[in-house]
């Protein structure tokens, strides 16, 4: 099972997410066990998330989106306003970040439905591989483009790769990996991924 933060979350974005998960589950007539089984993790984990006792990691958010058969961006952002056409302009850093133990995430273009990929701004805040915890692994094809700072990408089967602003890496998200900041400052990247 993917690691979870053990810190309660009472700030507004986390409460909105917890409420949305519960509303969506109940609207489908599912109990917690049904959604947990569809998503591939324990019912007790879902209960803690819905009650604001745990903050889901990126891996758990991906599993929840798969359980709901929706885009991750639909799950983590407020219900979108209907669009005319297929264009969204976002200026500056969008909305509140979703904090995880090793990252901060900002979903981009959440109002665009039906696209084959999703995008986020991500900050990698952890510099110590020993403190990273379980490596990430998810059912996506991934691309990271470094905007600021230094990214050190550790993957199973490859030597660590160091990337600087302007550098890009494409990789199989199912391959265990850990993204670390390589300097004193957080590393900010554009993250584009396509669920499989």
Q: 131 exposed, middle or buried (CB, 10 Å; 0-12, 13-18, 19+)?
A: exposed
The token duo for 195 is 């669920």
Is the pTM here over 0.75, yes or no? no
Residue 193 makes CB contacts below 8 A (sequence gap 6+) with: 117, 118, 119, 140, 141, 142, 143, 173
Return d(Cα 149, Cα 140) in angstroms, integer. Answer: 24
Say if CB 44 and CB 35 are below 8 A apart: no
Per-residue pLDDT of the chain (196 residues; tens, 9 = 90+): 434 444 444 466 677 788 889 888 887 888 899 999 999 999 999 999 988 888 888 899 999 999 998 888 878 766 544 444 556 677 776 777 888 889 998 888 766 666 778 889 999 999 999 999 999 998 889 999 999 999 999 999 899 999 999 999 999 999 999 999 998 998 999 999 987 7
Domains of the chain, earliest start first: 12-76 (1.10.260.40), 102-195 (2.60.120.10)
Say if CB 47 and CB 36 are below 8 A apart: no
């Amino acid at each position: 099972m993917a690691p979870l933060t053990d810190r309660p979350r009472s700030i507004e974005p986390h409460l909105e997410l917890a409420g949305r998960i519960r509303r969506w589950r109940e609207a489908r007539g599912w109990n917690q066990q049904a959604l947990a089984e569809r998503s591939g993790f324990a019912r007790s984990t879902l209960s803690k998330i819905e009650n604001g006792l745990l903050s889901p990691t990126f891996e758990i958010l991906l599993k929840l989106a798969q359980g709901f058969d929706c885009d991750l961006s639909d799950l983590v952002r407020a219900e979108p306003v209907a669009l005319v056409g297929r264009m969204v302009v976002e200026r500056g850093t969008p909305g509140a970040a979703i904090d995880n133990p090793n990252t901060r995430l900002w979903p981009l273009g959440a109002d665009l439905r039906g696209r084959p990929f999703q995008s986020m701004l991500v900050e990698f805040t952890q510099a110590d591989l020993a403190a990273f915890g379980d490596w990430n692994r998810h059912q996506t094809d991934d691309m990271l483009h470094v905007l600021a700072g230094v990214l050190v990408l550790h993957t199973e089967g490859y030597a660590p790769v160091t990337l600087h602003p302007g550098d890009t890496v494409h990789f199989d998200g199912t391959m265990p990996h850990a993204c670390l900041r390589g300097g004193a400052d957080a590393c900010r990247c554009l993250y584009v991924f396509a669920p499989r």
